[in-house]
Structure 1
């Protein structure tokens, strides 16, 4: 039987989100999602700036948290688009 178009839209959104990174299974912790290289570089630079005392640690943590929340919001919007296409 042919696949419904709405399911295809949701699958497309899921594939795009899955391509944004990968996960590693750690023995004690479980499945841990690894950010994209660009995000790792961003977090690394923030850590280096804080370690060199160019910026304070609390500032680095706020910037890293803001960056993570922005990325999380992007993923949530992609899921909502997929759900809207599924309902259409």
Structure 2
């Protein structure tokens, strides 16, 4: 790995540990957001529960969708509060 690749890699690791969001660029799809590691663990646990038939797949998908919507709302609300505080 060249020095630029190492710098890029360490910057990505820093963003992950700080909890900031980042994306992976896929050739056909484009930029795909990658959730925080805590969220990845949550989704993996839901997937395992569904795979072992503890819960049904539609239930797992509904829970995951609700979690994504709740997180998006929380970030949007925090952003709006931040903007309101900046304008004061």
Q: Per the shorter chain, which TM-score range?
A: 0.7 to 0.9
Deviation, 1:52, is 0.7
Secondary structure of the corresponding residue to residue 53 of structure 1: coil
After TM superposition, the score normalised by the length of structure 1 is 0.74
Deviation, 1:34, is 0.1
Per-residue CA distance 1:7-59 (angstroms, 9 max, x = gap) = xxxxxxxxxxx943211111111111100000000000101110111100111
| Number of residue-to-residue matches in the alignment | 71
Match of residue 52 from structure 2: 52
* 1:41-80 equivalences in 2 (<5 Å): 41-80=41-80
Contact 2:50 2:60 in 1 (8 A): yes
Q: Which has the higher contact order (CA 8 A, sep 6+)?
A: 1
RMSD: 1.4
After TM superposition, the score normalised by the length of structure 2 is 0.74
Runs of 4 or more consecutive aligned structure 1 residues displaced over 6 Å after TM superposition: none
